[in-house]
Structure 1
Amino acid sequence: MKRELGIARCGLACCLCSENISCAGCDSGQCPDKDVCANRKCSISKGIKHCYECSEACQKGLLSKIKSYSFTEFAKRYGEDTLLDCLERNEKMGVVYHREGINGDYDAFDDVEALINFIKTGKR
């Protein structure tokens, strides 16, 4: 885990991403989608660093996906440090963020609360 990369504006875990090895995170300016990311544009326009800091109930951009939405909701409820702690612990327990392509253990959910519980416990 590259904890220093933290959580992307949309809630995805830059710290666990294996998709682009040379990427230094969401705000590094190196993200290949930085110019088209709706969540990045919106949060910058509102002067906030993450979608979890926003008071609006929103599902635009990557927040339309359950993983991003659930990670954002988790950070809103418990804080980014707690999210990072849980992701790090889960990784050590064998939970995989990306297995083949961009899918991994956190993608196996269709219920936000079930995924939030999985983040908290690392268990299904």
Structure 2
Amino acid sequence: MKRELGIARCGLACCLCSENETCSGCDSGECPDKDWCENRKCSISKRIEHCYECKDTCTKGLLSKIKPYAFTEFARRYGEDYLLDCLERNEKKGVIYHREGINGDYDDFDDVDALIEYIKTGYR
């Protein structure tokens, strides 16, 4: 885990992403998706660093997917540091962020609260 990369504006876990080994996160200017990322554009326009800091509840952009939405909601409720602690612990327990492609263990949910509980415990 590259904890220093933290959580993306949209809630994705840059710290666990294996999609781009050279990416330094969405604020580095090197993110391959920076030009089209709706969540990045919106949070910058609102002068906030993360969607979890926003007062609005929305599902635009990547927040339409359960993983970034639940990670955002988790950080809103419990803070980013606790989210990172849980993700790090879960990774050590064998929870997989990405398998082949972009799906992993956190994608196997259709209920936000169940996913948040999984993040907290690492158990189904």
Aligned residue number for residue 72 of structure 2: 72
C-alpha distance in 2 between matches for 1:27 and 1:55 = 21
Structure 2 match to 1:57? 57
Tell me what 1:31 maps to: 31
How many aligned residue pairs are there? 124
Partners of 2:110 and 2:47 in 1: CA distance: 31
Q: Which runs of 5+ in 2 are unaligned?
A: none
The within-5 A match list for 1:82-121 is 82-121=82-121
Q: Distance in 1 between matches of 2:72 and 2:34?
A: 18
- SS of residue in 2 equivalent to 1:101: coil
Amino acid paired to 2:96: V
Q: Distance in 1 between matches of 2:14 and 2:57?
A: 23
Identity within the alignment, %: 81
Q: CA RMSD in A?
A: 0.4
Calculate the TM-score normalised by the size of structure 1.
Answer: 0.99
So what's the TM-score if we normalise by structure 2?
Answer: 0.99
Shift of 1:42: 0.2
Code of the residue aligned with 2:4 in structure 1: it is E
Q: How many Å apart are 1:26 and its aligned residue?
A: 1.2
Gapped runs of 5+ residues in structure 1?
none
Taking the aligned partners of 1:40 and 1:85, their CA distance within structure 2 comes to 24
Q: Distance in 1 between matches of 2:83 and 2:113?
A: 14
Q: Distance between the aligned counterparts of 1:28 and 1:18, measured in 2?
A: 17
Shift of 1:44: 0.1
3-state SS of the aligned residue for 1:75? helix
